[in-house]
């Protein structure tokens, strides 16, 4: 049985960079990776890392059916922005791993900047065969696990994750910021 793996990390931890490296590793052995990113998070049909590297990718949205994807010649399915998967899509990806024998590697955030667990992340945390963490650090030097919004004019939805609107912080700094904000 192939595995479904969820690799999570805070913003700017390098999740997309890792994904692109894994895709490259498969291709270097002549194996075909199938890369997906979320509609609206793509860069003109590409999956782009903040380090500047990118590759053409498939686009998924909430209605996308992974079960309809032809996977007979696919060695691995790689999904960026996996927090935006629906519960059903995560189940379908489990079906692909378990029944079709294609490994699925998902990369995403656990929580929004408001500390809400995303639907896709919740399902992945519960169902993945393996959980991996990519770490990054807060400005104070501790491990960053939360996102702090730095663009006040940004939207208020959890899904609003524009790349330049947030920084990753540790939980202590997150509480300091949010508790301070609520008092004003
Ligand atoms: Zn901190």
- Cα of 22 to ligand 1 centre, how many Å? 30
Whole-model pTM: value is 0.90
37 within some domain: yes
Mean pLDDT, rounded, for 109-135: 95
| Cross-strand bridge partners of residue 111 | 117
Residue 40 sits in a domain whose CATH number is: 3.40.50.300
Confidence class for position 166, pLDDT limits 50, 70, 90: confident
**Phi-psi label, residue 135: left if phi above 0, alpha if psi -120 to 50, beta otherwise:** beta
| CB contact at 8 A, 146 and 178 | no
Domain that holds residue 74: 4-135
CA–CA separation, 70 and 58 (whole Å) = 13
Residue 24 phi/psi, 5-degree rounding, is -65, -40
Please give the pLDDT value at position 149: 84
| CB contact at 8 A, 54 and 80 | no
149 within some domain: no
- Cα of 184 to ligand 1 centre, how many Å? 21
Give the number of domains in the chain: 1
pLDDT at 143 over 60: yes
pLDDT at 181 over 70: no
Q: Is 81 a catalytic residue?
A: yes
More confident residue, 61 or 162: 61
184 within some domain: no
């Amino acid at each position: 049985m192939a595995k479904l793996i969820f690799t999570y990390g805070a913003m700017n931890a390098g999740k997309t960079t890792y994904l692109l490296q894994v895709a490259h590793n498969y291709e270097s052995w002549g194996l075909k990776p199938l890369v997906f990113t979320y509609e609206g998070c793509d860069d003109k049909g590409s999956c782009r890392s903040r380090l500047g590297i990118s590759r053409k990718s498939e686009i998924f949205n909430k209605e996308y059916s992974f079960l309809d994807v032809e996977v007979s010649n696919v060695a691995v399915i790689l999904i960026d922005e996996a927090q935006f998967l629906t519960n059903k899509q995560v189940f379908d990806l489990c079906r692909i791993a378990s029944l079709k024998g294609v490994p699925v590697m998902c990369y995403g955030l656990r929580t929004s900047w408001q500390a809400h667990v995303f639907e896709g992340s919740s399902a992945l945390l519960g169902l993945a065969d393996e959980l991996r963490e990519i770490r990054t650090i807060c400005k104070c030097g501790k491990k960053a696990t939360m996102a702090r919004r730095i663009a006040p004019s940004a939207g208020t939805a959890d899904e609003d994750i524009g790349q330049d609107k947030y920084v990753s912080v540790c939980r202590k700094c997150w509480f300091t910021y949010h508790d301070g904000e609520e008092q004003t």
